[in-house]
Chain A
Amino acid sequence: MDPNKIDLIPEQESKPEPVFTKPEDYEEFCRKFVEEVGPELEKQREARQQSEAEAKQRWMR
Chain B
Amino acid sequence: MIDGENSVLPIVTFDDKTDWLALHRIAQPHLERAGLGRLVAALSTSAKCIAVEREYIDKDYRDTFSNFHSKRFSTPRSRCLRLHFFDREVTRAGFREACLDANKLEAVNDHYLGYSVIRPTKPNCIGRTLLTPASRGPASAFASLCSERVSILGTELEITGFPFISQDSDVTVCAESSLWMVLRYFSNRYRLYPETYPFQVVNLTKDYSLGRIIPSSGLFIWQMAEALRRVGRPPLIYSRANFPDFDHLLYTYIESGIPVLVGLREHVVVAFGHSSNFGATPPGAGTILTSAYNDALVVNDDNHVPYQLLHRTGAGSGAGAQTSKYNFKDIIDFVAPLPEKVFLPAESFQTVVTAILERSSEFGHKALSPSLQNGRLVLRLFLTTGKSFKKHLGTRKMGNSLVEEAYRNLPLPHFVWVCEISNTDAYSRHEVYGEILWDATRNAHEPNGWIALHYPEVLVVDMGSALNSEQNLFQFKLQDSTPYPLYKNNLQPI
Residues on A lying within 8 angstroms of B by beta carbon are: 1, 3-4, 6, 8-10, 12, 14, 16-20, 26, 29-30, 33-34, 36-38, 40-41, 44, 46-48, 50-52, 54-61
Contact = CB atoms under 8 A, between A and B. Distances in A.
6 contacts: A12-B405, A19-B362, A44-B347, A51-B237, A51-B242, A60-B218
B351 A18 contact: no
Given A3-B467, A9-B405, A55 B221 contact: yes
Interface string B120-139: 00000000000000000000
Given A3-B463, A8-B406, A55-B225, A40 B267 contact: no
Interface string B176-201: 00100000000000000000000000
B236 A59 contact: no
Given A55-B239, A56-B222, 7 more contacts: A16-B475, A18-B474, A54-B242, A55-B221, A55-B333, A59-B219, A60-B263
Interface residues of B, number: 59
A1 B348 contact: no
B445 interface: yes
B342 interface: no
Contacts of A48: 236-238, 242, 345
A19 to B, nearest CB: 4
A41 B474 contact: no
A47 B348 CA distance: 12
B410 interface: yes
B476 A16 contact: yes
Given A8-B406, A33-B355, A48-B237, A60 B243 contact: no
Contacts of B448: 30
Interface string B437-481: 000000011011000000000001101101101011111110000
A52 B466 contact: no
Contact of B241 (A1, A10, A54, A60): A54
A18 B463 CA distance: 10
B332 interface: yes
Interface in B55-91: none
Contact of B243 (A47, A55, A58): A47
A2 to B, nearest CB: 9
Contact of B447 (A30, A47, A61): A30
Query: Majority SS of interface residues in chain B?
Result: mixed
Nearest to B467: A3
Contacts of A10: 409
Contact of A36 (B243, B267, B355, B473): B355
B108 interface: no
Contacts of A34: 445, 447
Given A6-B467, A52-B237, A58 B332 contact: yes
Contacts of B477: 14
Contact of A44 (B218, B348, B463): B348
Contacts of A29: 360, 362, 447
Which of B217, B237, B355, B475 is most buried by chain A, counting CB atoms within 10 A of its CB? B237
Nearest to A61: B218
A55 B227 CA distance: 14
Contacts of A52: 222, 237
B1 interface: no
B120 to A, nearest CB: 23
B298 interface: no
A61 B239 contact: no
A8 B222 contact: no
A28 to B, nearest CB: 9
Contacts of B405: 9, 12
Nearest to B176: A60
Given A9-B406, A37-B444, A41-B351, A60 B463 contact: no
A33 B438 CA distance: 15
A36 B360 CA distance: 10
Contacts of A3: 463-464, 466-467, 469, 472
Nearest to A25: B362
Nearest to A16: B474
Contacts of B217: 61
Nearest to A52: B237
Contacts of A9: 402, 405-406, 409
